[in-house]
Amino acid sequence: MRIFDPHIHMTSRTTDDYRAMYASGVRALVEPSFWLGQPRTSPASFFDYFDALLGWEPFRASQYGIAHHCTLALNPKEANDPRCLPVLDELPRYLVKDGVVAVGEIGYDSMTPAEDTALATQLQLAAEHGLPALVHTPHRDKLAGLRRTIDVVRESALPPEHVLLDHLNETTVKEAARSGSWLGFSIYPDTKMDEDRMVAVLKEHGTEKVLVNSAADWGNSDPLKTRKVADAMLAAGFGADDVETVLWHNPVAFYGLSGRLQLDVPAPEALHEGNSVLRGGE
Ligand SMILES: [Zn+2]
């Protein structure tokens, strides 16, 4: 079984996670830039982080046989901190880089005017750079947040077919599907969607334009949730082709809109900028 996790924050995960993901079939992933928990105090800390998503993390993934790409953006939460806003001015020089397959995660956290501006600005940047956009829908007040998100996408230069609306659930899937965008579901251990609810959504909605991710990060999460959904689909009577549609072909088609997906894992280099996963030893 071939699995593509279209949303996972590997910076927060261990080498054991990379090994376990490979063993369960993960061969490709996309790491969106996001909030690190600890608030950033200057644009420079974003730039070092973006460089890590383009350099160190793909290097680390390649040691474990997994193709790594990223999406870059000013995340919704930190769009509210004036100290972080200059990131928007520097984003264009990052969006031209080969490993970047979308602008993201963008979207709403608390639905503030600052978030409105950052979302509209970054949808425009995506359109200008020929990139799709990964749009996070809010965890609170989900349906209102989704509707406002769809409105902003509709007013933007980016076609809805180049947008992945993420963190959907049973209450938001129908309206999201009507918008023409791709549909992302994050499967968590104890909140939001779980495997069984995901299978129920797939039975009702079908597999078209549906992507499933673990969204694993520094919080309570599980980097093997993609495989667990695949197993739950098979147990519920879906065929292997349906599983491959959701867990491989759909993410390949969405991020392939960038023209930059490289799914052959490069032979691992020994060093990245003088560092190895052996911490300089051996
Ligand atoms: Zn995320």
Q: In terms of Cα–Cα distance, which of 224, 191, 252, 227 is closest to 30?
A: 252
Q: Which of 256, 260, 211 is nearest to 100 (CA)?
A: 260
Dump pLDDT digits (tens) for 112-137.
999 999 999 999 999 999 999 999 99
Gap from CA of 104 to ligand 1 centroid (Å): 9
Distance from Cα 152 to the centre of ligand 1, integer Å? 20
Report pTM: 0.96
Q: How far is the CA of 280 from the centre of ligand 1 (A)?
A: 31
Distance 56 CA to ligand 1 centre (A): 19
The CA 281 to ligand 1 mean position distance, Å, reads 33
Separation between Cα atoms, residue 155 and residue 159, nearest integer Å? 9
DSSP β-bridge partners for residue 257: none
On whether residue 52 sits in a domain, the answer given is yes
Q: Is residue 56 part of a domain?
A: yes
In a domain, 232, yes or no: yes
Mean pLDDT over residues 181-190, rounded? 95
**pLDDT tens digit sequence for 63-82:** 999 999 999 999 999 999 99
Determine the structural domain holding residue 222 and report its residue range: 3-256
Please tell me the total count of domains within the chain: 1
Q: Tell me, what's the pLDDT at 175?
A: 97
CATH number at residue 219: 3.20.20.140
Residue type, 31: E
Neighbouring CB atoms inside 10 A of 96's CB total: 9
Q: Is 213 part of a structural domain of the chain?
A: yes
Out of 79-93, 97-111, 187-201, least confident range: 187-201
Residue 266 belongs to some domain of the structure: no
The answer to whether residue 262 is domain-embedded is no
- The answer as to whether 182 is a domain residue is yes
- Distance from the CA of 267 to the center of ligand 1, in angstroms? 28
Pair 122, 94: CB distance under 8 Å: no
Say if 110 falls within a structural domain. Answer: yes
